[in-house]
Every structure is written in structure tokens, then in C-alpha cells.
Amino acid sequence: MDFRWDLVWQSMPLLLEGAWLTIRLTTISVFFGILIGTGAGIARIAKGPQRYAAAAYIDFMRGTPLLVQIFLIYYGIPPLIERPIPAYLAALLALSLNSGAYVAEIVRAGIQSIDKGQWEAAQSLGLSKWHVMRFVILPQSFRRIVPPLGNEFIALLKDSSLVSVIALEELVRKAQIIIGRTFRPFELWLAVAIVFLIMTVSISRLVNLVEKRMKVVE
């Protein structure tokens, strides 16, 4: 069987359209994941009861498959609220909550990597614990967690292909549709792999650039 390059080029506009949706989904999900994860990471090391709620959330999201979480939100919640959840919203919720759990552990590790003397010195100046966290600890932690955050972005970018199971037409779903019409799976899946490779390598290079710039600032 001959490899059909013409089919790959003809399919590329649709695949790139799906890739754009994949990037949007991932970017928005990581943004909310960082917000959720920062709060959960701080709560995880707090001394109040919130640490147990944060631990339960992190353990559940990290200990169950993302595919199950997508099904739980898209198929499980609608009967409870008696209304359907749009596929795009369900995908965003699942990806954001899943990302938040992993970001929480990244943030927790980053905060705990800061020397305790920083806390003591800042508090001796009269800063409250919240102000110490906001203005002293988190800025220093952020510089250290840029690489793992970049890895989380790349991991979520690849895992976002799972939302194709709820018929959201991202990159993988677009390929499935084209394969259903052409019956040429090899060409299409190879094209999908190459598009994913280009996206992940580009993001990796961008993260490395940001990391180098932050080291220069230090």
C-alpha cells in the first residue's frame, strides 16, 4: 500500500483546526489548574482542617484515571443537576481539576523548598503569614517550579486527546472523523503524531527559554 502524502496535506487544515482547539483547551485548563493548584498546595501544608480537604482532592484526582473523571463530569453529573453539560465545558472542568491536583503537589514542593529562615526573617519584620506567602515565598517558589509546570502543560496537552471520547472535535477526534471517511488510518495517525510532536517540542523550548531568563534575573 502506497503512502498517500496528498491525503495528509488535504487533511492538514482540519487537523490544525483540531490542534488549535487542543491548545486552547490545554492553555485554559492549565491556567485554572494553576489557580486551583496554588490554593490546594497552600492548603495542603496548612495546619487547619483545610489540609485534609486538599489532601482528599489531590488523592482522588491523582488516583483515578482522567478518562473516568471526564465520564463522571459529562455523564454522571447531568442526572444529578437535571440538565446536560456541554462537552467543551465538561472537558475544561475535567482537565482543570485534574491539572490542579498535579500543580498542587508542584506548588507544595516549591514552597517547602524555600528555607525556613525566609519565613522567620519576613515575620520578624512584622509581615503576616499571608503577606509572607504572597510577597516572599510564592515569588521565590515560582522560579523553581517553572520546569515542572512546563512538564505538566505538556502532559496535559497529550492527555487532552481523551476528550475525544465525548465527541469534542479536538485533534484526535478530527483524525477519527477523517479516517472514517477515507479508511486510511496510518497516514492520519502519523500526521497526528507529528502535530503533537511539534506542539510539545515547541512548548518545551519555550519553557527552557523562560527558565533561562528567570535565572538571568536572579
Residue found by looking up cell 496535559 in the block: 156
- Asked whether residue 217 carries a pLDDT value surpassing 60, the answer given is no
- 9-60 pLDDT tens trace: 999 999 999 999 999 999 999 999 999 999 999 999 888 889 999 999 999 9
State the average pLDDT over residues 154-175: 94
Q: Are 59 and 129 in contact (CB under 8 A)?
A: no
Domains of the chain: total: 1
Q: Domain holding 138: CATH number? A: 1.10.3720.10
Q: Which domain holds residue 57?
A: 5-217
C-alpha distances in Å from residue 106, one per residue of 26, 148, 206: 18, 7, 19
What is the percent of the chain with per-residue pLDDT over 90, rounded to a whole number?
A: 71
Q: What is the pLDDT of residue 143?
A: 81
